[in-house]
Structure 1
Amino acid sequence: MKYTVDAKEEFEKYVNYHDSILLLNGLKDRLDQGLGYYLLLLGLTTGLRFEELVGLVFSDFNFNHNELNIDKTWGYNNRMPTGFGPLKNKASKRKIKVEGTTMALFKDLFKTIPDNEHHLVFYNEKSI
């Protein structure tokens, strides 16, 4: 017996501009409620893959040039090797520009969160 799921319509695959602005503002309003909101904010504003987001370390943020260095991933589930890993492909290694407001929020965040063994920005007890 086989079961397939119908392909999604194009409009179901993406958040439209209006909804993305609502989401962005909602995330910014909730940043004081936990690090997960920062992760979602950065994902929304950069388009990074989840494993790239959770693999970010403090030194990947260049606040002088508003850039992120993307050169690794983090194994976040049992199907992946533990720790840092390679990107999806060679073209995935990149530096990306991030708008100043988001970078300023992270600059302020870094003053309040402790460092950890692997220097992960989005570290929690399940990271290892």
Structure 2
Amino acid sequence: MTGFLTDKQPHRNGSVCPFVVGAIRSNNIYFSYGNHASDLEWGAHIDQCVSFMQSLRSDQTKYGRAIIILLPENFDIETLLNIHVRNKIKCVMSFLMLGALYKESNAKSLHSADFFPLRTPSPTL
């Protein structure tokens, strides 16, 4: 996180992810781990994360907050993308972002087609 997400974004002013910078500074970054077998279990896990984020007082979160869901290094990318698609709307409806990050992600930066900010060594939500 501090070796990439907080670094300077090479194609615009600011860091790669200003939300994570704020979350680290305000000590509002949290971690979870997931390796569930079913859509139902994943849905419940995401629901718990959403509820936790909503439970934080607004004065604690004015500078940003984040939950990083760590996954096994060999986690199936197709499954990761399916989890993302199935749960993204409920997160957005709760004013939260949900991203699928993994080593081979071809999701380009909004600011440059040559920069891939969603590439991580291990699959992550």
Give the TM-score range, shorter chain. under 0.3
TM-score by length of 1: 0.27
More helix as a share of residues: 1
More strand as a share of residues: 1
Q: Is the radius of gyration larger for structure 1 or structure 2?
A: 1
